[in-house]
Structure formats: C-alpha cells, structure tokens
C-alpha cells in the first residue's frame, strides 16, 4: 500500500466520525425531550414491617408433616433449594450451607459456612414451625439474612420439604 491509500483510509474514518457527530447534534436539536416534573405512575411500596414487629401468623404444619409425601418433598427441595444447597451427608457448602442434619444442629452452625450475623444471633435449633416460617419468607423470619430466596407460599410444599429435611439425619427429630 502506498501513502495515498493510507491517507484515503484515514480520511474515510475521520469523515464517518464527523458525520456521526453532526447527525447526533442535529438529532438532539430535532428531538427535544420533555422532562416530567413528577412521575406518570406512582408506585407505592408496601410498608416494611417494623423491626421486632409481629411476623405473619402461619397455619401450623406440624400435623401436615406426619402425612407429608417425603418423595415430593425431596423433589421440591432439590428443585427449589438445590441450586444453592447440598443434601448429602458430609456434602460441601455451596452458596448456602449443606442441609444434611440441619434440624439437629443449632441455627447458623454449619461448619465452614459464613452465616449473616443475624442468623448467628437468632440462636436455637430449627423446629418444624421455624422451618415453616423460614421457607415461607426467610427475610421475614430473620431480617438481614443473606438468603435471597423469596419463599414458598404453598403450605403443602413447605410441609413436604420440612418432612424431607427431617429425614436428613442419622437420628431424625421426632414427629410432632
């Protein structure tokens, strides 16, 4: 290539850039947006419950657990929870802790998993009703949890998952 061809290529690039810039200026002058002083649609967020406020009252699932379909609970748990949790004995923690033996160990005590301070501070051991409330909406049961799961609305699905989690132990928690 000689110098004249290189100059033509550079000139073409410069002309294209200047053309796009001029078109942008002309387009901006032709289309003058009108900025609204207030929102066209008002979106009102639901009021957050006050800290220490009363949580939503859930129907007790203790009676449902005794007759819950454990196979359906396993399928639901793997579908709903399997992306973040493992269920096998000695399984590694993922985004969430391994759930084997979760009902027989203290809350926030899965070895090697970094829980939020609020989960650690909650203390205690998981009960059937605690797990029911947790699976309904984790952030409502323990505010400030790192768990981003929205929750399960179905009482039946929650009971099945809790019944399945109960089986994940060498010594399952007695049925209520």
pLDDT digits (tens, 9 = 90+) for 12-33: 999 999 999 999 999 888 887 7
- Please report whether residue 30 resides in a domain: no
Residue 123, both tokens: 């203390």
The residue assigned the tokens 């033996």 is 101
- The pLDDT score that the predictor gives to residue 14 is 97
Q: With 60 as the cut, is the pLDDT of residue 35 above it?
A: yes
Q: Is the model more confident about 124 or about 1?
A: 124
- Please report whether residue 9 resides in a domain: no
What's the chain's average pLDDT? Answer: 86
Range of the domain at 81: 62-167
- Please report whether residue 161 resides in a domain: yes
pLDDT digits (tens, 9 = 90+) for 97-138: 999 998 888 888 888 898 888 988 888 888 888 899 999 999
User: Based on the structure, what is the number of domains in the chain?
Assistant: 1
Q: With 80 as the cut, is the pLDDT of residue 174 above it?
A: yes
Question: Which residues touch 30 (CB under 8 Å, ≥6 apart)?
Answer: none
Q: Is the model more confident about 39 or about 106?
A: 106
Quote the CA–CA distance of 163 and 157 in Å, as a whole number.
10
Quote the CA–CA distance of 132 and 144 in Å, as a whole number.
18
- Read off the CATH number of the domain in which 78 is found: 1.10.760.10
Quote the CA–CA distance of 154 and 132 in Å, as a whole number.
10
């Amino acid at each position: 290539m000689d110098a004249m061809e290189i100059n033509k290529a550079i000139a073409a690039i410069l002309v294209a850039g200047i053309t796009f810039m001029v078109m942008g200026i002309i387009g901006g002058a032709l289309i003058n947006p009108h900025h609204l002083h207030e929102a066209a649609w008002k979106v009102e967020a639901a009021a957050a419950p006050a800290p220490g406020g009363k949580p939503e009252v859930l129907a007790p699932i203790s009676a449902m657990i005794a007759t819950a379909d454990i196979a359906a609970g396993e399928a639901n748990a793997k579908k709903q929870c399997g992306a973040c949790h493992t269920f096998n004995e000695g399984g590694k923690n993922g985004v969430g802790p391994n759930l084997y033996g979760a009902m027989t160990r203290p809350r926030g005590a899965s070895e090697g998993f970094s829980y939020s301070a609020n989960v650690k501070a909650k203390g205690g051991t998981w009960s059937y009703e605690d797990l029911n409330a947790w699976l309904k909406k984790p952030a409502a049961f323990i505010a400030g949890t790192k768990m981003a799961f929205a929750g399960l609305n179905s009482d039946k699905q929650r009971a099945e998952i809790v019944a399945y989690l109960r089986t994940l132990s060498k010594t399952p928690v007695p049925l209520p």
